[in-house]
Amino acid sequence: MEADFVIIGSGSAGSAMAYRLSEDGRHSVIVIEYGGPDIGPFIQMPAALSFPMNMETYDWGFSTEPEPHLGGRRLVTPRGKVIGGSSSINGMVYVRGHARDFDHWAESGARGWSFADVLPYFKRMENAHGGEEGWRGTDGPLHVQRGRMDNPLYHAFIQAGRQAGFETTIDYNGEKQEGFGPMEQTIHNGRRWSAANAYLKPALKRTNVKLVRGLARKIVLEGRRAVGVEIEAGRGFTTIRARREVIIAASSINSPKLLMLSGIGPAEHLRQHGIDVVVDRPGVGQNLQDHLEVYIQQECTQPITLYSKLNLWSKARIGLEWLLFKSGDGATNHFESAAFVRSRAGVEYPDIQYHFLPVAIRYDGKAAANSHGFQVHVGPMRSKSRGSVTLRSANPREKPVIRFNYMSHEDDWADFRHCVRLTRQIFGQAAFDPYRGREIQPGPHIQTDEEIDAFIRDHAESAFHPCGTCKMGDENDPMAVVDPECRVIGVEGLRVADSSIFPRITNGNLNGPSIMTGEKAADHILGRTPLPPSNQQPWINPRWETSDR
């Protein structure tokens, strides 16, 4: 078992790299994936999104250590253990991130990853059905669509944002992210359009791409050069050799774990677990970031929400329509309107994200109230809290120790309080007058800073956007793990390319930036000149220094 390139992980970045590295037919690629196939309605049916991330079959089953600032709660940290990785179990929301996110990457040492540099890769990967002309790709493998927005509540949310004085945007993935507008989905012809459907399955039709099932145990090194991957498959161990390079794309949880198991990481930590230190990289597993959010829920006085579809009879009808025609309420994730806004004057670009849903429900699919309702998921985009992923033991089968340190920076509390109060302001606009009932969550009795803080402590949930644990940066940065070409610093023939390399978390959901990372990394791996930088300039609110809207 040998190939030019061995990729660990078939997720968002891994699938994109498998497709691009094998495209010209000159190189052989082996993709190692521990998870199984993505066949069946639970993954492919968009409305069933709450199932796969709660199923042992498809999820690694990670959770955090007790989070000290969230009352000692352990939060689940779903990661896809299936073809397509987390793109097969996520919410199918498509967000590129704000232009300034990538400019910040470049300024912090990831040269060549500014917005001008990455925009051509976003265009190359996209096949956008809708969106702003000239800003979007139209012939890439990744289909991106908008929901039908049949429910009047989607329009009420956008109208309420406008009434509250905020901007609207026709395409938050175009020139202007800031504002209220339609949300985009990685759904195509009624099916989840995962990285597996977009990239991996077409790549596997080529004779030079092979998928191998197995658990990657460690990178095989000869001196300081990666030459292969030791995997556990069935009852035995085997080594898959890489003639040119090994590429880790195993997630922001498993990528640092694999580096550390291979002797690449903080020396003292590795020694504690009896692992021989090959390269002392203190940044491996550090810089862990995520988006945290709360659900603000309101009763709806009209029977127009998805609540009427939550009974068994309706679910059966929806499922049957989807199975037969790939249409109807089963063919959307129901996230069809959204907003990106700034929290205050002096913030240059959005730092709050809204997902709107025409039902009051939890992410695990359980109804929050026995009534019609609607809700937003809302949270700050750029928390200053940082966590870590460390080894529990030297056993590759043991789950790592995950500590996000959520809400450990005092600014996070002020930002979250603002999110709660701002949402009440938006739900209080005239556009919601025909629909607004009582507030379900937090509830009208939660008003003071202390009461809101207690609500956040008890109810904040992860948006499932972990990243940052193998930071990309300048070779001289002691906390950088990979250089701007995704090469692991201090090791030859080894790269990391997935959300773990993000220096700082981007605005919004991470599937889009993760796929872009795979696309761009493929050009670096092949030694190609990167796509020419774009000269398009993003819209920045002219009032940003004086107003939040």
pLDDT digits (tens, 9 = 90+) for 372-398: 999 999 999 999 999 999 999 999 999
* Residue 329 lies inside a defined structural domain of this protein: yes
Cα–Cα distances (Å) from 290 to 14, 293, 326, 495, in that order, read: 21, 10, 33, 23
Q: How confident is the model at residue 367 (pLDDT cuts 50, 70, 90)?
A: low
Q: CA dihedral in degrees (106, 109, 112, 118; nearest 10)?
A: -40
306 and 375 together in one domain: yes
Is residue 482 situated within a structural domain?
Answer: yes
Q: For residue range 446-477, list pLDDT tens digits in order.
A: 999 999 999 999 999 999 999 999 999 999 99
Residue 227 in contact with residue 244, Cβ under 8 Å? no
Q: Report the alpha-carbon distance of residue 82 to residue 34 in Å, rounded.
A: 7
Residue 16 is assigned to a ligand binding site: yes
Averaged pLDDT, 245-251: 99
Question: For the domain that residue 217 is a member of, what is the CATH number?
Answer: 3.50.50.60
- Domain match, 243 and 321 both: no
- Report whether 19 belongs to an annotated binding site: yes
pLDDT category at 326 given cuts 50, 70, 90 is very high
User: Is 458 marked as binding a ligand?
Assistant: no
420 and 357 part of one domain = yes
Q: Let me know whether 25 and 132 are in one domain.
A: yes
Same domain, 197 and 212: yes
Together in a domain, 530 and 499: yes
CATH number for the domain harbouring residue 455: 3.30.410.40
462 is in an annotated binding site: no
Look at residue 370 in the predicted model and tell me its pLDDT.
83
Which residues, in sequence order, are bridge partners of residue 380? Answer: 352
Flag whether 246 is marked binding: no
**Alpha carbon distances (Å) from 92 to 137, 172, 229, 327, 509:** 18, 16, 31, 16, 9
Residues 261 and 205 in one domain: yes
pLDDT in tens, 419-428: 999 999 999 9
Is residue 87 marked as binding? no
Q: E strands, 49-203, where?
A: 62-63, 76-77, 126-128, 142-146, 179-182, 184-185, 187-188, 191-192
15 is an annotated ligand-binding site residue: yes
Q: Which of 69, 291, 334, 465 is catalytic?
A: 465
Beta-bridged to residue 458, according to DSSP, are: none
Residue 49, CA distances (Å) to 74, 149, 225, 321, 330 in order: 22, 18, 41, 17, 10
9 is annotated as contributing to ligand binding: yes
With b meaning 16 or more CB within 10 Å and e meaning fewer, what string describes 271-281?
eeeebeebbeb
- 216 known ligand binder: no
Strand partners, 179: 340
- Amino acid 368: pLDDT: 65
Q: Are residues 496 and 374 in the same domain?
A: no
Query: What's the mean per-residue pLDDT of the chain?
Result: 97
Q: Is the residue at 337 inside a domain?
A: yes
Q: Is residue 548 part of a domain?
A: no
Cβ pair 327, 321 in contact under 8 A: yes
Q: What confidence tens digit (pLDDT) does each residue in 280-304 have?
A: 999 999 999 999 999 999 999 999 9
Q: Has 179 been labeled as part of a binding site?
A: no
356 and 489 inside one domain: no
Residues 335, 205 share a domain: no
Question: How does residue 365 score in pLDDT terms, banded at 50, 70 and 90?
Answer: low
Q: Is 465 a catalytic residue?
A: yes
Is residue 385 assigned to a domain?
no
Q: Are strands 126-128 and 142-146 parallel, antiparallel or unpaired?
A: parallel
Three-state DSSP class for residue 127: strand
Whether residue 260 is contained in a domain is answered as yes
In a domain, residue 501? The reply is yes
29 is in an annotated binding site: yes
On whether 32 is known to bind a ligand per the annotation, the reply is yes
Structural domains in the chain (count): 2
Cβ count within 10 A of residue 396? 17
Q: Sign of torsion, CA 113 115 116 122?
A: positive
CA distance 385 to 406: 6
**What is the pLDDT, as a whole number, of residue 148?**
96
Tens digits of per-residue pLDDT, 119-163?
999 999 999 999 999 999 999 999 999 999 999 999 999 999 999
Residues near 364 by Cβ (< 8 Å), separated by ≥ 6? 50, 54
Do 315 and 282 belong to one domain?
Answer: no
43 and 107: one domain?
yes
Q: How far is CA 473 from CA 122, 477, 479, 486, 527, in A?
A: 21, 7, 8, 9, 19
Query: Given its phi and psi angles, is residue 512 left (phi above 0), alpha (psi -120 to 50 degrees) or beta?
Result: alpha
Q: Convert the pLDDT of each residue in 170-224 to its tens digit.
A: 999 999 999 999 999 999 999 999 999 999 999 999 999 999 999 999 999 999 9
Domain of residue 264: give its range: 1-138+191-288+467-534
Q: What's the confidence (pLDDT) of residue 183?
A: 98
Show which of 432, 459, 486 is a domain's final residue.
Answer: 459
Cα distances from 388 to residues 181, 284, 455, 469, 482, in angstroms, run 35, 9, 25, 7, 17
**Per the domain annotation, does 401 fall within a domain?**
no
Predicted structure pTM score: 0.98
Tokens 């870590």 correspond to 388
| 8 in a labelled binding site | yes
Residue 183 tokens, joined: 């949300």
**Could you tell me which of 510, 547, 71, 528 has the C-alpha nearest to residue 253?**
510
